Structure 1
């Protein structure tokens, strides 16, 4: 943001973020539109089946479109998997070609896709259960997901809701076996056409095959119910309609990124800003009034009778920089958190500037993985600096732990959860080759960079404190209840969590309901608010503890901000019981497993911010006083 003037940078950034949020018209450089001519082939690809619901979700598992239990029609020569990015694979995308035939401008009416053999009893029961669990098909045309028209209950506006229902469940499961595909295109001056929208209306019809081998389609045909006695054969058909649209290619995602309730986003942002302003006012009052008065009194040299050297936070100057318990663990956690801060910040900057468009499937996850690996150098450097500052001498162990602790925890957890996905035959299971590729990237990129960062961290001079540490620790007086470790930690963490919990609702909807997250501009601003809130709340509580002669600030500062991750997990538990209706052990384990990982990462990120902010604060205030 070097092009912004210093005075107007905040305003410009705010407008830029809102602009990206509202227009959604940015595309990753290099993603060029596809131009089609009349009767040109427009491939339709199929993706995994995912659970979807506007009320309560009943499963978190996704399944391959060509899972043998579904008995869907296959293309000639068998399905062929399409190449995907690393992030796309990790997020469960499994894209294949399909037997659907779409030709630009050529309408089709009741075209036969295929007729299946009799579906076995077990598979019929499985399909009907997936219908009851509100599973949806996911078609992809020219990079656009197929959607159906939905209506916003609050505003009455219509928007494109991604997914095509597998069936309808009105007491009895009815399988949708006819797809009315409406492809919207924008015509250019040179007779070239671009796809700008894909709508699919799925219907259930008990279609029969005529003597001429063609399906007999009629709007009055009753719904098709898949019998669970092993005798049902399914006739799949589809129709294609091409509709001219004034929507240009650059803004074709706008219909998909409908903000269901924009007022909640604004309320979230205002709520976060109010918390920051409140904390900023408190910190300013302390810095400008209390601290200034304290420092002036401590440094007074003229009226000795007014000097109160043995009062307040200066009283613990000989113990405040004493090395904490378990300095190795603390340094590794702060380093890992710093790595996450850098990864998240840079990823959000790229997203706000429009480099991570939804048109490039899996780009966000891919960039996050790459940045996480690259910023292993930050983890090693920060961990080494903190460990050396606290007098640690086991530098080899520190280098090893900084490079392996967090990636090891993540790899182990995801591998364990992956076995649950494999056992349930879910498409979300990461292939063995992808797991090997991830481990290879970690070993080749992240570990060496982390070691290099640690090397430079240990090479640098030790961080010197402005005051000397006494040999004998000072006794800490009894503290009031609200300043004891556990109450103060959990009270302080409420504010960082309070600044993000409304935006957290949209993020969780995006993750579990398989929706595209559209509020990147809001998310970037909320992330900035979170960083500021964590810094200010730890500084405030640290000052209060020092005034009470409690100098054990290191772990308390880390845990005060880091406990926000604990509240995130509690919120995830509340979300599970209010928004989900899961009744399978596998889905429950996966939900709480992934929620635990998210909460852990949040704790590491916020904890590192709190510790480093508190360290900077103490360095500054104790450097401002004169100590004999």
Structure 2
């Protein structure tokens, strides 16, 4: 009865925990960024419209808005940007668009330009590569509403509008390029009936390509005949789009319409975040997580029962003859804690993995609480970089502790390698990729000042903190092994083919990758298809499942390895779960050829370069989790048996 009541209490706790987690996931997309107060506008107040980078999912190379000969303001002023925004290629600047709160504007003329050969070439290249123009109003990005054919389906929003379009016109077989030179803006606002003030809750646009006509010679007061400001119709008597061609004049115009909305300011991001039908997304993730949890529970239960039986059997051996006849993992107790080859490199990678683990855990907590919502542009990347730098103290501590256990004495050397090996490799790849972006004259190229700031963060903060952690860790008493190590290494018997190290390592990475590959699809989509990623509650749950899966699959394979009297588990435990990074890179390659339309060589190199960095980081993280799981497991089982 007591065990049954204990089981009921345990089940009840699990159910309550599941309800709390699901409620956290369900509400994690509703963001109210702490510390950012809403701005109230009175009727007639000026609204600052800012322009951001030009983006394309075909090239992945952002460009500044004024890299094209759009209408400029009297003076171009750059907005202050954080570190994450600069690394993302954001270039936020002022614009010539003049809005006044709740005062509609019809057919406002922005400017008139005549294209030369260079400008025509630039426009045609950007239109051909399907570049989109991004704007910002009151920290809200500009979106194009696309209504679905299904009546019940919600409106889909796409970030930014296309620079133009290409196609055949008036029966001509020649493909021509047309520019979107008329923008119909819609500003949605939520009004406070008591103060009559309003808050902006939506910023939409419908782009048009119109060949404007006017009477007489052009001047500031020229009346455009293709535009009627006295009617709700945007354009009348215009049946031809504006072609992009040499010596053709283009008149840029815009409308501004205001719509009162019931959406409150705190919920204004919901429409932007629900850009895709996420029902399949939710179902797939929950289904995947349940399968992984079930498999992990079964594996853990089998392992605990098997180990309990083994330990009981070994502790019952009393005679010398029985001890000589024993077989399995107890036979290698004199070699299982023998330091591995290249132990200092293992210490470096374990310390780097601890740094990654601490960084991701803290980042996840801040993201779930709403501090790193998409409304805070660049906040996620800035937080990750700063946390990585400050978590260097844990990297130094973990690497030096392990190094001292391996009887090492040069802790400064290990600390230096911990501080420089992984960041140095990543920085070298990043520097080459940045040179390629700079060669394309893209705004995505990191400026010299930002690059210098990254180096200062690395050598000015991260490296000293790693040494501080290494000093503290090395002063601690060395971790003592639960059993003594023999002076002469035991010979490892010939292993079956399925216990081969390469085969075992490759098999071990499948399950951790299976725990995250569905979520990985949405992460890749948000990065490379210019969409928001917002379900941080689910991501945190997937990350926890990844930790559990890496630990359990590595423990299982380590147990089988020890049972076959192979005691070289140190590096294999790291590589077993770390091999999931190989499957991540292969999946990224599959995603490239099936979901993306990248055709340019530089863009392809950027994609595979950044995914190589991501896979390398994933290897370090998962490998460290598997290593510490096996480290705890081996110490636990060998300290539980009687060894004379």
Determine if the TM-score, normalized by the shorter chain, exceeds 0.5: yes
Q: Does 1:98 align with 2:95?
A: yes
Task: Name the residue aligned to 2:142.
Answer: 146
The structure 2 residue matched to 1:416, chosen from 432, 438, 447, is 432
Aligned partners of 1:583, 1:368: CA distance in 2, in Å? 31
Q: Is the 8 A contact 2:373 2:534 kept in 1?
A: no
Q: In structure 2, the residue corresponding to 1:98 is in which secondary structure?
A: strand
1:119 counterpart residue number: 116
Q: 2:185 aligns with which of 178, 181, 190?
A: 181
SS, match of residue 64 in structure 2? coil
Tell me the residue number matched to 1:17.
24
The SS at the match of 1:499 is helix
Looking at structure 1, the residues matched to 628 and 425 of structure 2 have their Cα atoms a distance apart, in angstroms, of 23
Q: CA deviation at 1:579?
A: 1.2
Structure 2 residue runs without a partner (length 5+): 1-11, 169-175, 228-234
- Secondary structure, counterpart of 1:97 in structure 2: strand
Q: CA deviation at 1:7?
A: 6.8
* Distance across 2 between alignment mates of 1:39 and 1:339: 52
Q: Which residue of 1 aligns with 2:8?
A: none
Which residue does the alignment assign to 1:269? 286
- Cα gap change, 1:299 to 1:152, in 2 (>3 Å): farther
Q: CA deviation at 1:161?
A: 2.1
Name the structure 1 match of 2:584: 568
Q: Measure, in 2, the Cα distance between the counterparts of 1:561 and 1:9.
A: 31
Partner of 2:66: 66
Larger radius of gyration: 2
* Residue of structure 1 in register with 2:313 after alignment: 297
CA separation in 2, counterparts of 1:165 and 1:612?
50
2:78 to 81, 85, 91: 81
| CA shift for structure 1 position 225 | 4.7
Q: How does 1:302-313 map to 2 (within 5 A)?
A: 310-313=326-329
Are the aligned partners of 1:48 and 1:138 in contact in 2 as well (CA < 8 Å)? yes
Match of 1:164 in 2: 161
Query: Using the alignment, how far apart are the partners of 2:33 and 2:115 within structure 1?
Result: 46
Structure 2 residue 208 is the aligned partner of structure 1 residue 203: yes
Give the TM-score, by structure 1 length.
Answer: 0.94
Q: Following the alignment from structure 1 to structure 2, what is the Cα–Cα distance between the partners of residues 538 and 598?
A: 22
Shift of 1:432: 1.1
- CA deviation digits over 1:455-485, x for unaligned, max 9? 1111111111101111111111111122111
| 1:624 partner SS | coil
Aligned counterpart, 1:336: 352
Identify which range, 596-605 or 382-391, moves more after superposition.
Answer: 382-391
Give the match for residue 32 of structure 2: 27
> How many residues of Structure 1 are paired with residues of Structure 2 in the alignment?
611
Contact 1:20 1:353 (8 Å CA) reproduced: no
User: Are 1:509 and 2:516 matched, yes or no?
Assistant: no
- Cα drift, residue 403 of structure 1: 1.3
Counterparts of 2:200 and 2:482 in 1: how far apart (Å)? 65
Are residues 1:193 and 2:198 paired?
Answer: yes
8 Å CA contact 1:418, 1:429 repeated in 2 = yes
Q: Find the aligned partners of 2:301 and 2:320 in 1 and give their Cα distance.
A: 29
**How much does 1:436 deviate?**
1.1
3-state SS of paired residue (1:213): coil
Q: Which residue of 2 aligns with 1:232?
A: 248
**Deviations along 1:31-82, whole A, 9 cap, x unmatched?**
011110101011000000001xxxxx42111110011xx10110012x1100
Q: Against the structure 1 CA distance between its residues 548 and 302, is the aligned structure 2 distance closer, same or farther, given a 3 Å change threshold?
A: closer
Map of 1:359 onto structure 2:
375
Q: Structure 1's 170 and 17: CA in aligned 2 closer, same or farther, altered over 3 A?
A: farther
CA deviation after TM superposition for structure 1 residue 619, in Å: 0.6
**Aligned equivalent of 1:556:** 572
Partner of 1:323: 339
- SS of residue paired to 2:114: coil
Q: CA deviation at 1:370?
A: 1.1
Q: Is the 8 A contact 1:64 1:427 kept in 2?
A: yes
SS in 2 for 1:356: coil
1:535 maps to which of 548, 551, 566:
551
Q: Do 2:352 and 2:620's aligned partners in 1 also have CA atoms closer than 8 Å?
A: yes
For residues 164 and 77 of structure 2, the distance between their equivalents in structure 1, rounded to whole angstroms, comes to 25
Q: 1:169 to 1:262 in 2, by over 3 A?
A: farther
> Which runs of structure 2 are paired with 1:380-529 in the superposition (5 Å)?
380-529=396-545
Determine if contact 2:178/2:244 at 8 Å carries over to the other structure: no
Could you say which residue in structure 1 is the equivalent of 2:171? none
Give the Cα–Cα distance (whole angstroms) in 2 for the partners of residues 309 and 402 of structure 1: 45
Q: Note the alpha carbon deviations across 1:511-550, whole angstroms, 9 max, x for none.
A: 0111110211111111111111000010000001111111
Superposed CA deviations along residues 443-465 of structure 1, whole A, max 9, x for unmatched, are 22211111111111111111111
1:348 pairs, out of 361, 364, 380, with 364
